[in-house]
Chain A
Amino acid sequence: MLDDPTQEARARALSADIRCLVCQNQSIDDSDASLAKDMRLLVREQIKDGKTDQQIRDFLVARYGDFVLLNPPVKRSTWLLWFGPLLVLIAGIASLALYFRSRAKQIAPAADGLSADEQAQLDKLLRDEDRAP
């Protein structure tokens, strides 16, 4: 839509990252909505005016909020969103590691030849024998 192919390519790249607020899960590049068309025109106008990509994004976020960007920005309020899954993975691996280590201790033979588990089993059998008539 712009005459200069470099500018048009820039416009398309930028548009692919901007959410159509009507459909909400399409970019303005993909969406047929009338509002998407307005925003595509706006992006191209601003590129022609010499604005940088970041300036155009800031312009839209100032008016429509962070949600207008398809990639949520990384800032304090979105740290949990960006890093949460990684933290959960690390926590999961850590607790697995701890569990295996404590199991290893549990089944390792102790000084007198029985592991903690085996000792517990033995104790239980002896107790049951005492109780049996």
Chain B
Amino acid sequence: MKRALFILPLILFLGLVFYLGFGLTRDSRLLPSTLIDKPAPEFALEPLLSSGKGLATADLKGQVSLVNVFASWCVPCRAEHPTLMRVAKEHAVPIYGINWKDKRADATAWLDELGDPYARIGYDPDNKAGVEWGVYGAPETYVIDRDGRVRYKHVGPIFRSTFDETILPIIRKLQEG
């Protein structure tokens, strides 16, 4: 019995080592969204492009969609852009953009240069919609279901593998359900 008691602190220590070690493998800068499974927030943004459509809560109902927060000053947004172009071309899921804390002229030039994968782009220079969505950086991408509920949030750029392995299955499941 005394032997067993000797081992106890060691077991507790090892338990703590594994628990904290696991914690070290996770990125603490990525915050979970408070919006998951809740209806998308109330917002209405005017169009970024004079030739395009703006974005508001009502636009998110009726189909599964992606909402992508981007800006011309955001370097990872540039990196994920080819993935968005491919998704827009190959998959039947509309991508709606929120142009975040940006200048209209800069954003327009950026899209002219790289291409425009967005079906709609809302212009949010003052972070009015961003606050409602809990946006704390760019890029961020949300998966919205048919009823306009937020079902998944991805913080940071989306690369091909992330899209194929994580996001596409979610979209498929929502489209079938």
B-contacting residues of A (Cβ < 8 Å)?
21-22, 24, 34-35, 38, 42, 61-65, 67
Contact = CB atoms under 8 A, between A and B. Distances in A.
B101 interface: yes
20 contacts: A21-B31, A21-B136, A21-B137, A22-B137, A24-B28, A24-B29, A34-B101, A38-B127, A42-B131, A62-B34, A63-B34, A63-B41, A63-B132, A63-B134, A64-B34, A64-B136, A65-B31, A65-B32, A65-B134, A67-B31
A35 B31 contact: no
Interface in B18-47: 28-29, 31-34, 41
A24 B131 CA distance: 17
Interface residues of B, number: 17
Residue in A24, A35, A63, A67 with the greatest tally of chain B CB atoms within 10 Å: A63
B101 A64 contact: no
A64 B31 contact: yes
Nearest to B127: A38
Contacts of B32: 65
Given A63-B41, A65-B33, 15 more contacts: A21-B136, A21-B137, A22-B137, A34-B101, A35-B127, A35-B136, A38-B101, A61-B34, A62-B34, A63-B134, A64-B31, A64-B134, A65-B34, A65-B134, A67-B31
Interface pairs A-B: 7 shortest CB-CB:
A21-B136, A63-B134, A38-B127, A64-B134, A65-B34, A67-B31, A65-B31
B136 A22 contact: yes
Nearest to A98: B5
Nearest to B130: A38
Contacts of A34: 101
Interface in B108-141: 126-127, 130-134, 136-137
B19 to A, nearest CB: 11
Contacts of A38: 101, 126-127, 130-131
Residue in B101, B133, B134, B137 with the greatest tally of chain A CB atoms within 10 Å: B134
Contacts of A62: 34
Contacts of B41: 63
Contacts of B132: 63
A116 B63 CA distance: 80
Contacts of B33: 65
Nearest to B32: A65
A65 B136 CA distance: 11
A42 B102 CA distance: 18
Contacts of B101: 34, 38
